[in-house]
Amino acid sequence: MFDRNPSGKKINMKVERNEEIFWTCPFCALVCDGLPSPFFKDGLIENLPSCQKAEIGLKKALTKSTKKDLAFGRKKFINLPNAIEQIRSKLRKNERIFISGLGVDVAGAREVVKLACKFNAVVDHKYGDILSKVSKSIQNKGALFCSLSEVKKRADLLIFLGTIPNIRTPRLLDRIEKEGPGNSKKEKYIIGDASWSEEVMLLKLQKLSAFISTSDKQYLDDDLELLMNKIDGSKYTAIIWDPNFYSDYAEDIAILLVEIVRHLNVNYRVSILTLGGDEGSLTMQNVMVWMTGLPLRSKFSLGNLDYDPHRFTLSSLLKKKEIDTVVWISCFSDDLDDSLDLSEISLILIGHKNYGNKLDKIMSRTKELIYIPVATNGIGASGYLMRGDGVSIIPLCKLVTDGLMTVDSVIKELLGEKEEGYGDV
Ligand code: SF4
C-alpha cells in the first residue's frame, strides 16, 4: 500500500513568506529569536540567517525529497492510521520499551512523559550522558547560574574554558555583545586552549579553587594570577562553558565551577552560564521534572518511577539485551547514533522528515521499522523550547505549511487522547 502522505491526503507543501517578520531558530541551545524570517522565492530560500548551523538545519527541514512525507510500516509505505495502529499494537505487546532521541518542544515533551507512563517505558535524551552529569552536579552542589540576558546586560568580563564555543553555538558572541546595551565589546579571557585535555583543565580549575578558598599563593601560576587580576578589575564576570566539550569530567568541572563562584561571590559578582540544551534536551529534562519530580534516565513501572542515571542508558540496556523496542523521537535532526546496536529490536521512529531519505539504511540496522515523519517545531509548526541557559522558554513560530503532524499530535493519536480523554500523569 502506498499513500502520498501519512494523513492519506495529497501532499501540497505550501511554502510562503511568513506573516511574522521575525523568526526564531530551533537548531541550537541559543534558540536565537528576532532573526529575519526566511522565505521561499523561485525555489530558493531567501533571507537565510548569518549562521551556518541554522542554514543547514533550515535547508534539511525544507528540502523536498521523494520519501519524506510517507509513513513507513515494517517493509512498505502505509497511511498514517495504519502506522498509528501498528505502533499501538507493538507498544501494547512489547514490555521493554526505551524512549530516546527526544528532540522535542514543550508540548511534545509533555506527551512523551504520558506515553512513557502508559507503556512503562524508560526515558532518556540522546544527550543524556552530559545532561545527567550536569544534573548530578546540581543535585550535589546546587547551582549559581545566570541567564543569557544577564550576561548580555551586566557582564563586562567573559571567561571561557578552553575555547569560545562557537561551533555548537555559533552566534554566542554576537548575541552577548551585539544585543547588549551600547552594542559594546566585552573583555574575554580563555582558560587554557582547545588542545587542553579534560584532565589538564580539571587540574587548573582545582588550583584556582584551592587559591580562592585558601588565598595561598602557592596555587597561583602566571595564568591564574592574570585571571584573578581581570576578575578584580571587573564589575561582573560570567564564566561560560559548554559541558559537551568535557564528556568525561563534566560533573567534576560543574562542581568545581560552583565552588569557585561561591567563594568569589564573597568579594565579587561572578556567575556561570552553562550552555546545554541542544535538540530539546533541557526542554525534555525540565518537563520531565515538572510532571514527575524526577529527571530523565528514569523508568516508569505501573505508576511508579525509578530513577537510575547509571543503569537507564540506551547503549547499556541494548548491550545487555534488556529492551525489545526503541521509540526514537527527533524532530530537529535526522541523526540516529551509528554506534547503537539496533539489530535485535523493533524501532519506532517518530522523526524529522529527512529520515525518509535514509529508510533503507535504517531498516538494514533493525529487526523491524515503523516510521512516521513529523514537522520540525520552528519550521513546519509553532511551539516552545527552553533556551540553553535553562531559564527562558522561547516561542517558536511556524514558517511553512508542510502537511506533517507534530510530535505531540502523533503521540496524542497513539494514546487515543482525543477519544479516551487520557489525562495528565
Ligand atoms: S546560533 Fe544556534 S539558534 Fe542561533 S541561529 Fe545559529 S543555530 Fe540557530
Q: Helix, strand or coil for residue 377? A: strand
CA 16 – ligand 1 centroid, Å: 22
Ligand 1 atom nearest to 171, measured from its CA: 1
With a pLDDT cut of 90, the percent of the chain lying above it is 68
Whose CA is closest to atom 2 on ligand 1?
28
**Any atom of ligand 1 within 6 Å of the Cβ of 51:** yes
What Cα–Cα distance (Å) separates residue 85 from each residue in 227, 279, 370, 402?
61, 28, 11, 23
Q: Helix, strand or coil for residue 66? A: coil
Predicted confidence at residue 398, as pLDDT, reads: 92
Question: Quick check: 32 pLDDT over 80?
Answer: yes
CA 70 – ligand 1 centroid, Å: 29
State the chain's mean pLDDT as an integer. Answer: 88
Question: Quick check: 9 pLDDT over 50?
Answer: no
Taking the C-alpha atoms of residue 235 and residue 186, their distance in angstroms, rounded to an integer, is 12
* Model confidence band, residue 67 (pLDDT cutoffs 50, 70, 90): low
Q: Helix, strand or coil for residue 349? A: strand
The per-residue pLDDT for range 174-215, each reduced to its tens digit, is: 999 888 776 677 999 999 998 999 999 999 999 999 999 998
The β-bridge partners of 40 are 45
Higher-pLDDT residue of 98 and 68 is: 98
Q: Is the pTM of this model over 0.85?
A: yes
DSSP β-ladder status, 346-351 and 325-330: parallel
Structural domains of the chain in order of their starting residue, each with its CATH number: 66-127+279-377+402-420 (3.40.50.1220), 130-276 (3.40.228.10)
Question: Quick check: 424 pLDDT over 60?
Answer: no
Q: Are 285 and 295 in contact (CB under 8 A)?
A: yes
Question: Quick check: 33 pLDDT over 80?
Answer: yes
**Any atom of ligand 1 within 6 Å of the Cβ of 388:** no
The closest alpha carbon to 150, from 329, 392, 411, belongs to 392
CA 25 – ligand 1 centroid, Å: 6
CA 168 – ligand 1 centroid, Å: 9
Rg of the chain (C-alpha set)? 23
- Phi, psi dihedral angles at 382 (to 5 degrees): -80, -175
Q: Are 65 and 353 in contact (CB under 8 A)?
A: yes
The closest alpha carbon to 102, from 322, 262, 327, 256, belongs to 327
**Any atom of ligand 1 within 6 Å of the Cβ of 26:** no
Question: Which cell is 91 given?
Answer: 507498544
